[in-house]
Copies of this chain bind each other. A is one copy, B any other.
Amino acid sequence: MRISELADTTGVSVATIKYYVREGLLSPGRKLSERLADYDDQHVRRLRLLRVLRDVGSVPVGALKALVDATQDRRASVHDMFGRACDALRTETAVPEVPDEHTRALADQIVARAGWTKVRPDAPERDRLAGIIKVILDSGLPTDPEGAATYLPLVDAIAAYDLDQIDDTRDREAMMEQMVLGQVVLGEFLLSLRRLAHEHHSALRFAGRR
């Protein structure tokens, strides 16, 4: 198909498509002549993925490039590819960048307690978890020392289900698509459901309380 048809099909503007090709996020179309190129279903699929990541995940172009590079590096296992995608997709918030030893130790304890033995010792997400723990502790609010015992098996079940959705008979590109959509869109889905559940449980507990 022509670039204008590709734009209509995917809802991504011609200017943005050209930008993605220049940035290496989308392979160029097959040249038909000096000014015409032909695009196919692979392009449609990639553009849909880029659009979702940009719209829902607010993923910056640098991170999108890291995702595409990870897909194309065939020496990396699918797991390594996912690891690089996870690192690229970490959302930026203002939690402390270099957590102190105490909160980092607490984060490591949580990961160990959850039984997530396969998480890299230097995974950036460990520092991020430590930063969030620091915010919770600094807030001075009461915390339940046994809270992790309730949360961890629930989160583990959610994550195992998310990964079960990835069809490993498909090619790397398709697996990556399923994986990043799971990270970004199902993450939003989960938080939205949680807000709805909060409203329900708040009504049960506090509708009569002033």
How far, in angstroms, from A152 to B44 measured CA to CA in the complex?
32
Which chain B residue has the least Cβ–Cβ distance from A116? Answer: B200
Q: Which of B56, B125, B199 contacts A132 (CB 8 A)?
A: B56
Residues of A15-38 at the interface with B, using a CB-CB cut-off of 8 Å, are none
Tell me how many chains of this kind the complex includes: 2
Question: Chain B residues near A90 (CB, 8 Å)?
Answer: 195
How far, in angstroms, from A206 to B168 measured CA to CA in the complex?
8
Question: Chain B residues near A166 (CB, 8 Å)?
Answer: 205
Q: Which of B56, B77, B128, B183 contacts A198 (CB 8 A)?
A: B183
A39 to chain B, nearest CB (A): 16
Which chain B residue has the least Cβ–Cβ distance from A159? Answer: B197
- Asked if A2 lies at the interface with its beta carbon under 8 angstroms from chain B, I say no
A177 to chain B, nearest CB (A): 7
Question: Chain B residues near A104 (CB, 8 Å)?
Answer: none
Chain A residues within 8 Å of chain B by Cβ, number? 96
Known: A129-B192, A140-B48. A116 touches B197 (CB 8 A): yes
Tell whether, in the assembled complex, residue B79 and residue A203 are in contact, meaning their CB atoms are under 8 Å apart: yes
A161 to chain B, nearest CB (A): 5
Q: Which of B118, B119, B196, B204 contacts A114 (CB 8 A)?
A: B196
How far, in angstroms, from A181 to B82 measured CA to CA in the complex?
31
Question: Chain B residues near A14 (CB, 8 Å)?
Answer: none
| Minimum-distance CB pairs A-B, first 6 | A159-B197, A118-B203, A116-B200, A78-B206, A55-B94, A79-B206
